[in-house]
Chain A
Amino acid sequence: DGGITQSPKYLFRKEGQNVTLSCEQNLNHDAMYWYRQDPGQGLRLIYYSQIVNDFQKGDIAEGYSVSREKKESFPLTVTSAQKNPTAFYLCASSARTGVFSYEQYFGPGTRLTVT
């Protein structure tokens, strides 16, 4: 089955620790995205990547870092500099070009709790 996997589903960390969230897709999509969802605020874009070895900051990139070494993978690191890291994190992917390039497919999400 083609799709996007995110692991783990739930993640707990102590304040001050960096944590990396995994996102893998087998849809052969070029573009990948990370969003953060907080109650009542919809989804906000953290980082996105249109192609391997290239990525851009979204609206709320401070305190986060990403890498895109492989087409299938787009891990997100939540650093200790992120002031309010507790949230639901969603990874998405889409084809970069073509008529279906606007369709973004989402993974199941990772709920991160930092105490």
Chain B
Amino acid sequence: QKEVEQDPGPLSVPEGAIVSLNCTYSNSAFQYFMWYRQYSRKGPELLMYTYSSGNKEDGRFTAQVDKSSKYISLFIRDSQPSDSATYLCAILLMDTGRRALTFGSGTRLQVQP
């Protein structure tokens, strides 16, 4: 079983739709939860991070963490064609020896105009 599971998609939605992207993880010791956006042939860029259960909102984006279920989500409201990209969840295990991210496989999102 992978440490972080993510549906690869592709997910195709019309412009203006609400998008829900999800990941599950297996290690309860994970402490920080992040979402990266990656455009084709580019490096990932950090969208949002959170470390506690609950919701965190930033503009059209909301990150949600449920530690009891080991489930994280990213919601995009009023989706735009410019949101078309691959979205990667990433989880950080904050032990002293390794502060590197464990990534999901990414979900490819296509927003149709």
Stretch from A12-20, A61-69, A74-82, A105-113 forming part of the interface with B? A105-113
Stretch from B41-49, B52-60, B64-72 forming part of the interface with A? B41-49
Docked-complex contact B43 and A102, CB < 8 angstroms: no
Q: How far is the CA of A43 from the CA of B6 in the complex (A)?
A: 12
Q: How far is the CA of A103 from the CA of B99 in the complex (A)?
A: 10
Interface size on B, residues (CB 8 A): 27
Query: For chain B residues 88-103, which have a beta carbon within 8 Å of chain A?
Result: 88, 90, 92, 94, 97-103
Docked-complex contact A102 and B104, CB < 8 angstroms: no
Contact A42-B43, Cβ < 8 Å, known A56-B97, A101-B99: no
Compute the total of residue contacts between A and B using a CB distance below 8 Å: 61
Docked-complex contact B99 and A50, CB < 8 angstroms: yes
CB-CB under 8 A from A104, the residues of chain B are 46, 101
Contact A94-B99, Cβ < 8 Å, known A42-B6, A109-B43: yes
Instruction: Using CB atoms and an 8 Å cutoff, list the residues of chain A in contact with chain B.
Output: 4, 6, 31, 33, 35, 40-45, 48, 50, 56, 58, 88, 90, 92, 94, 96, 101-109, 111
